[in-house]
């Protein structure tokens, strides 16, 4: 038996790519392990969107030199950093065996086999017109009741702070029939909730002649027997159509949560970011969403300290947050990444100012998250039970339709079931509740 260890950095798409790599290598006799010291093959799946994730990947890679000196192990790097630096990585890191770009996951087994046989070092970062990895079936992991399904990859938007279109290539959608088939197989294997993935799912189908659009795709998935819940990420606000917003009110399996990154509340900054919407247009979409689906949970990504962001711009972001009241947000200090357009922009914001703005913004978000979570106390929510707590065998955990973590008493027999839970306490990152029987669900 050969053992595979994968270290993943970055977003949900990267984690799904790692699952695809594991699925492919399992067919070549590898078994996944969480014991680095016992592994025969180590893959670092990287992200280059944020400087911190890149630093962590480099530091992890550095530590692998010792492992390579101690025993025979194959070491590879995949993901956005691999795509970005290609062969240069082989020159810089002597203990690295292969570099695998974002369009080449499907080639992983043959590359590993080649290295096993001949010890050749390989860098494969070519772009392909059709991304074959989109069609790699990833079976559900033992005991899992939720699964990710890629519906598209790449992006045509070129936001000035983002490297993704350069490293993942242009937008490519999977044929709807393939997506539906994959979800049917997942449902048959016990999956109850699917998360549809893409850099900008709202433009699903645009590059595929005769394809249904995203709202139609959602309706097709809504009809699949066995699937109880549908989620998706990520949505670009400019592409969020009225038809898609209506789906939240009409498709019973579509969960009442949308991740809709606003990035800034200042129109001046949004223009420099090349986001192609104004703060008022964003707010209008939020109002429409709430009209079709009262109580919908909305989360966001926000960047502070984008080049040229003045105090007044930052205040506009806070003002927008006060108007929207996001359920949660992921906030970051802008970091200059090689290859992005904004790297050339003037008006760098100093680190101290970025840190101060980030702390202020996160304090506002914490207040809002608590406010939203507390409003759920006393109500009953539907929870899809996902697992038993790691620390307590009589404690189970799952998510509400609005994507909130809910913990309550129970055992493993509830995993995969949707149960009504009365919320008794609210915290910043989770809710606590008690199981209710025979009661109607009152909130998302």
Question: Residues 400, 383: contact at Cβ < 8 Å?
Answer: yes
Instruction: Provide the 3-class DSSP secondary structure of residue 164.
Output: helix
Nearer to ligand SF4, 4 or 148 (CB): 148
What token pair was written down for 282?
């964003």
CB of 361 to ligand SF4, least distance (A): 18
308 binds ligand SF4 (CB under 6 A): no
Stated as kind and residue range, the H or E segment containing 88 is helix 87-92
Question: Residues 74, 28: contact at Cβ < 8 Å?
Answer: no
Nearer to ligand SF4, 83 or 402 (CB): 83
164 binds ligand SF4 (CB under 6 A): yes
Nearer to ligand SF4, 39 or 48 (CB): 48
Question: Residues 321, 361: contact at Cβ < 8 Å?
Answer: yes
Alpha helix (H) ranges present in 231-310?
242-250, 267-272, 279-292
Q: Which 219-248 positions form the footprint of ligand SF4 (CB under 6 A)?
A: 236
22 binds ligand SF4 (CB under 6 A): no
CB of 325 to ligand SF4, least distance (A): 23
The single residue among 8, 46, 153, 200 that binds ligand SF4, judged by CB under 6 A, is 200
The span from the CA of 117 to the CA of 106, in Å, is 19
Question: Residues 330, 291: contact at Cβ < 8 Å?
Answer: no
Cβ burial, residue 50 (10 Å; 0-12/13-18/19+): middle
159 binds ligand SF4 (CB under 6 A): yes
CB of 190 to ligand SF4, least distance (A): 32
Q: What is the largest CA-CA distance in the chain?
A: 64
Nearest Cα residue to 290 out of 236, 261, 332, 327: 327
Nearer to ligand SF4, 269 or 293 (CB): 269
| Stretch of residues binding ligand SF4 (CB under 6 A), selected from 75-83, 150-158, 242-250, 356-364 | 150-158
The span from the CA of 73 to the CA of 64, in Å, is 10
Nearer to ligand SF4, 154 or 215 (CB): 154
Which residue matches tokens 């595979």?
4
The span from the CA of 237 to the CA of 398, in Å, is 28
- Residues pairing with 148 in the sheet: 195
| Stretch of residues binding ligand SF4 (CB under 6 A), selected from 128-136, 162-170, 219-227, 344-352 | 162-170
Site size toward ligand SF4 (CB under 6 A) is: 10
The single residue among 155, 244, 298, 303 that binds ligand SF4, judged by CB under 6 A, is 155
Cβ-Cβ contacts under 8 Å for 6 (sequence gap 6 or more): 18, 21, 22, 32, 42, 43, 44, 45
Question: Residues 334, 304: contact at Cβ < 8 Å?
Answer: yes
CB of 385 to ligand SF4, least distance (A): 32
| Stretch of residues binding ligand SF4 (CB under 6 A), selected from 154-162, 352-360, 375-383, 436-444 | 154-162
Nearer to ligand SF4, 76 or 169 (CB): 169
86 binds ligand SF4 (CB under 6 A): no
CB of 37 to ligand SF4, least distance (A): 36
342 binds ligand SF4 (CB under 6 A): no
User: What CA dihedral angle connects 49, 53, 54 and 57, to 10 degrees?
Assistant: -140
CB of 17 to ligand SF4, least distance (A): 15
Which residue matches tokens 């913990």?
407
Nearest Cα residue to 195 out of 259, 248, 239: 259
The span from the CA of 397 to the CA of 384, in Å, is 8
x/- letters, 106..145, toward ligand SF4 (CB under 6 A): ----------------------------------------
271 binds ligand SF4 (CB under 6 A): no
The single residue among 61, 112, 123, 162 that binds ligand SF4, judged by CB under 6 A, is 162
Nearest Cα residue to 431 out of 389, 386, 370: 370
Question: Residues 385, 410: contact at Cβ < 8 Å?
Answer: yes
158 binds ligand SF4 (CB under 6 A): yes
- Residues pairing with 408 in the sheet: 396
Nearer to ligand SF4, 236 or 354 (CB): 236
CB of 262 to ligand SF4, least distance (A): 12
| Stretch of residues binding ligand SF4 (CB under 6 A), selected from 85-93, 158-166, 215-223, 244-252 | 158-166
165 binds ligand SF4 (CB under 6 A): yes
Nearer to ligand SF4, 152 or 372 (CB): 152
Nearest Cα residue to 250 out of 297, 201, 215: 215
Nearer to ligand SF4, 187 or 262 (CB): 262
The single residue among 199, 233, 317, 331 that binds ligand SF4, judged by CB under 6 A, is 199
The residues binding ligand SF4 (CB under 6 A) are 155, 157-159, 162, 164-165, 199-200, 236
């Amino acid at each position: 038996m050969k053992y595979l260890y994968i270290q993943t950095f970055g977003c949900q798409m990267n984690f799904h790519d790692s699952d695809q790599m594991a699925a492919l290598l399992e067919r070549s006799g590898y078994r996944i392990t969480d014991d680095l010291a016992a592994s025969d093959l180590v893959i670092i799946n990287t992200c280059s969107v944020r400087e911190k994730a890149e630093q962590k990947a480099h530091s992890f890679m550095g530590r692998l030199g010792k492992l390579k000196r101690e025993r025979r192990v194959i070491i590879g790097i995949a993901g956005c950093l691999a795509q970005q630096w290609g062969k240069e990585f082989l020159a810089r890191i002597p203990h690295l065996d292969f570099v695998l770009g974002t369009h080449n996951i499907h080639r992983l087994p043959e590359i590993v086999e080649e290295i096993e046989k001949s010890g050749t070092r390989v860098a494969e970062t070519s772009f392909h017109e059709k991304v074959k990895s989109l069609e790699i079936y990833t079976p559900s992991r033992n005991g899992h009741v939720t699964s990710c399904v890629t519906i598209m990859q790449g992006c045509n938007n070129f936001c000035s702070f983002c490297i993704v279109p350069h490293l993942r290539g242009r937008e490519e959608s999977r044929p709807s029939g393939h997506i539906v088939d994959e979800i049917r197989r997942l449902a048959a294997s016990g999956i109850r909730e699917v998360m549809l993935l893409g850099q900008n799912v709202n433009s699903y189908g645009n590059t595929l002649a005769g394809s249904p659009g995203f709202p139609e795709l959602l309706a097709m998935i809504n009809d699949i027997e066995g699937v109880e819940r549908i989620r998706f990420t990520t949505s670009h606000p400019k592409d969020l159509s009225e038809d898609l917003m209506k789906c939240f009110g009409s498709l019973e399996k579509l969960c009442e949560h949308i991740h809709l990154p606003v990035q800034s509340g200042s129109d001046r900054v949004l223009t420099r970011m090349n986001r192609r919407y104004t703060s008022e247009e964003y707010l209008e979409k939020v109002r429409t969403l709430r009209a079709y689906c009262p109580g919908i949970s909305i989360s966001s990504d926000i960047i502070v300290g984008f080049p040229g962001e003045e105090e007044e711009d930052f205040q506009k972001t806070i003002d927008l947050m006060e108007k929207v009241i996001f359920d949660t947000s992921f906030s970051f200090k802008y970091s200059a990444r090689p290859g992005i357009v904004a790297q050339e922009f003037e008006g760098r914001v100093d680190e101290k100012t970025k840190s101060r703005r980030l702390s202020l913004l996160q304090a506002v978000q914490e207040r809002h998250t608590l406010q939203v979570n507390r409003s759920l106390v006393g109500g009953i929510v539907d929870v899809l039970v996902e697992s038993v707590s790691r620390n307590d065998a009589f404690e189970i955990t799952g998510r509400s339709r609005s994507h909130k973590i809910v913990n309550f008493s129970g055992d493993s027999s509830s995993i995969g079931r949707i149960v009504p839970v009365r919320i008794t306490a609210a915290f910043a990152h989770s809710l606590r509740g008690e199981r209710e029987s025979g009661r109607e669900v009152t909130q998302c």
